Amino acid sequence: MAENKFITDSGIVINNLYQPDSSNTNNELPGEFPYTRGVQPDMYRGKLWTMRQYAGFSTAEESNKRYKYLLANGTMGLSVAFDLPTQIGYDSDHVMSEGEVGKVGVAIDSLRDIETLFDGINLQDITTSMTINATASTLLSFYIALAKKQGADIKKISGTIQNDILKEYAARGTYIYPPKPSMRIITDIFEYCSNEVPKWNTISISGYHIREAGSTAVQEIAFTLANAKAYSEAAIAKGLDINVFGQRLSFFFNAHNNFFEEIAKFRAARRMWAKMAKDLGATNPKAMMLRFHTQTGGSTLTAQQAENNIARVTLQALAAVMGGTQSLHTNGFDEALNLPTEAAARTALRTQQIIAFESGVVDTVDPMGGSYFVEELTNQVEAQAWKYIEKIDAMGGSVSAIEEGYMQNEIATASYKYQKDIENSEKVIVGVNKFAVKEEVAPPSFRINDSIRIEQTEKLNKLKAERNNSLVQANIESLEQAAKDGRNVMPHIIEAVENLATLGEIADTFRGVFGEYKA
């Protein structure tokens, strides 16, 4: 029985002691291929990670206030959460949007909402990450249109769109169109940005949601890297150069509870991507470096004794930093109950600042490097992840594996096992199945009013009354034609949104041409 307790969720057996041997010695250097020890030779001595707190709710006005609050408190980059209608291509007045407007993020219907969202914020001076996938092309177009209006040089603006549709089918659920046309829109974005917005990170290939859906650490990086391969191959097939678009690929991982397995996971992911990119034909080192954002694990937060989550978030954030993350979001301790209050969001940010400025872990590069245990664990995570990737390759790659439901089934099986382990008390969750107390659950301190759908609808009515509707109609028709002809859709979306076409109108145009995906 006892030995069962020393196995990670990924099934890696942990030994009593690790001693030096040939397999756990690491003579690599940070900033050099395969980047296991970090993508920079000096890591945080040169530049700290970007403290980037994900936020967005209600209307653009309300979210703008939260961004200004976060910036005033030392956040270094913005990260926008959109509501579900925005993510799935419905305007706020659409029947499917009922009950969802402004709930899990900010409601954005048109360029006017984006102007309000970034009111008083100069887009050339900050970087913005947008968690947006099926409608990423439209949100990026809004952003570009606003940057132009502000007089910014769009060759200089920087930020990230998530734009990772494969994990939406596999784990997160905000897809619209079938995989093939979705992949085509994504490569259109790659192509457009490499010419026009060269500093933009055109995709954030995400393991975060795969993990949140219940995968293991090994599955998280295996499926993410398999997806990265699929995007790269699609871009190469379109005639794009991996040495160019490869520099603008970024990644997004979860920081979960098992401290050392997480650190090993980040190190293994870097090494694996370097090898994978090289095999795909990359010669430019920058196209082989895995740069990633991390968010602490939302599903690890408990509603019970919610303050305990501050300790969980701290450990997870520490693993991300010791694993060499480029940017980090720390969760609010109250997020199993509601969206984070201002106070909880501040504590989350302070947690990062304490790690950065008080703990000393940033003073040297890859502090875990050379640990017999962590090096061995890095090797094992890598070896197991390659096995999954080989399996997916044999199925014909990520798109086929997802269409066959392979990733979804693997994730569901792992998540059921995790739940059973908790219920059998094989896995301890403090305050839930051990050290539980009777407690009154506090009423939600933060909630979103349903009336904002009415507000958004009024804005939409006003917009449609004020804009040049025949011009919008002409823009939509040329977008439709480009979508049909296989020409790059990005210039057409930008033109349409500059003339105040709505997000829903763009998405409906694509729905007409590409159809909708049914799981």
Partner 1 sequence: MQRPVRVLVAKVGLDGHDRGAKVIATALRDAGMEVIYTGLRQTPEMVVQAALQEDVDAIGVSILSGAHNTIFPKLLTLMKQEGMNDVLLTGGGIIPNEDIEELTKIGVGKLFTPGTNTQDIADYIKDWVQKNRSF
Q: CB 411 → partner 1: shortest distance, Å?
A: 8
3-class SS at 479? Answer: helix
Q: How far is the CB of 418 from partner 1 (least distance, A)?
A: 9
Residues 156-185: x/- map of binding to partner 1 (CB under 8 A)? Answer: ------------x---xxx-----------
Sole binder of partner 1 in the list 111, 313, 337, 493 (CB under 8 A): 337
Task: Show contacts with partner 1 in window 29-88 (CB under 8 A).
Answer: 84-85, 87-88
Residue 212 binds to partner 1 (criterion: CB under 8 A):
yes
**Residue 138 neighbours by CB distance under 10 Å:** 29
Closer by beta carbon to partner 1, 147 or else 429: 429
**Residue 396 zone, left/alpha/beta (φ > 0; ψ -120 to 50; rest):** left
**In the complex, minimum distance from the CB of residue 42 to partner 1, in angstroms, rounded to a whole number:** 39
Phi/psi of residue 127, each to 5°?
-115, 145
Among 29, 121, 240, 303, the residue binding partner 1 under the rule CB under 8 A is 303
- Answer yes or no whether residue 217 interacts with partner 1 by CB under 8 A: no
Cβ(50)–Cβ(292) under 8 Å? no
State which H helix or E strand residue 81 sits in. strand 77-81
Burial of 501 (0-12, 13-18, 19+ CB in 10 A): buried
Interaction pattern, residues 251-290, with partner 1; x per rule: CB under 8 A = ----------------------------------------
Please say which residue, 213 or 234, places its beta carbon nearer to partner 1.
213
Distance CA 424, CA 221 (A): 28
Binding of residue 441 to partner 1 (CB under 8 A) = yes
Read off the DSSP letter of residue 430.
B
> What sign does the CA torsion over 114, 116, 122, 127 have?
negative
In the block, residue with structure tokens 């090797």: 379
* Least Cβ distance, residue 206 to partner 1 (angstroms): 13
Interface with partner 1, residue 448, by CB under 8 A: yes
Site string for partner 1, 395-424 (x = CB under 8 A): -----------------x--xx--x---x-
Instruction: Say how far apart CA 502 and CA 472 lie, in whole Å.
Output: 9
Q: Is 187 in the site for partner 1 (CB under 8 A)?
A: no
Radius of gyration, CA atoms only, the chain: 23
The yes or no reply on residue 430 touching partner 1 (CB under 8 A) is no
Dist CA 461 CA 327 (whole Å): 39
Which residue of 103, 229, 248, 312 would you call a contact of partner 1, by CB under 8 A? 103
State which of residues 404, 450, 466, 477 lies at the interface with partner 1 (CB under 8 A).
450
What's the closest the beta carbon of residue 438 comes to partner 1, in angstroms?
14
Judged by CB under 8 A, which stretch of 4-12, 334-342, 471-479, 500-508 contacts partner 1? 334-342
| Beta-sheet pairing, 327-329 with 200-201 | unpaired
Smallest distance, partner 1 to C-beta of residue 420, A = 8
Range in contact with partner 1 (rule: CB under 8 A) among 187-195, 307-315, 336-344, 346-354:
336-344
With CB under 8 A as the contact rule, the residue among 336, 361, 471, 474 that binds partner 1 is 336
Q: State the nearest-atom distance from the C-beta of 446 to partner 1, in Å.
A: 10
Minimum CB–partner distance for residue 83 and partner 1 (Å):
9
CA end-to-end span of the chain: 41
Nearer to partner 1 by C-beta: 282 or 460?
460
Q: Which is nearer to partner 1, 43 or 348 (CB)?
A: 348
Instruction: Give the range of 4-12, 22-30, 121-129, 446-454 binding partner 1 by CB under 8 A.
Output: 446-454
Q: Which two tokens stand for residue 326?
A: 């480029």
Which range in 90-98, 107-115, 279-287, 325-333 contacts partner 1 by CB under 8 A? 90-98
Compute the CA torsion angle 54, 316, 352, 287 (nearest 10 deg): -70
Q: How far is the CB of 431 from partner 1 (least distance, A)?
A: 9
Q: Report the C-alpha gap between 249 and 242 in whole angstroms.
A: 10
- Residue 396, Cβ density class (10 Å: 0-12 exposed, 13-18 middle, ≥19 buried): exposed
- Tell me: does residue 432 bind partner 1 (CB under 8 A): yes
Nearer CB in complex with partner 1: 423/466: 423
CA 252 to each of CA 167, 204, 228, 281, 447: distance values in angstroms, whole numbers, following the listed order: 11, 6, 11, 23, 28
CA–CA distance, 352 with 317 (Å, rounded to integer): 7
Closer CB to partner 1, 13 or 436, in the complex: 436
Answer for which of 9, 100, 262, 505 binds partner 1 (CB under 8 A) is 100
Residue by residue, what is the 3-state secondary structure of 215-255?
CCHHHHHHHHHHHHHHHHHHHHHCCCCHHHHHHHEEEEEEE
Does residue 219 belong to the site contacting partner 1 (CB under 8 A)? no
Residues making up the chain, counted from first to last: 519
Residue 172 is which amino acid? R
Quote the least distance from Cβ 213 to partner 1, whole Å. 5
104 binds partner 1 (CB under 8 A): yes
For residues 511 and 517, give the distance between their C-alpha atoms in angstroms, rounded to a whole number: 10
- Per-residue CA distances from 280 to 150, 230, 388 (Å): 39, 11, 18
The site for partner 1 (CB under 8 A) is made up of: 84-85, 87-88, 90, 96-100, 103-104, 168, 172-174, 212-214, 299, 302-304, 336-338, 412, 415-416, 419, 423, 429, 432, 441, 443-444, 447-448, 450, 519
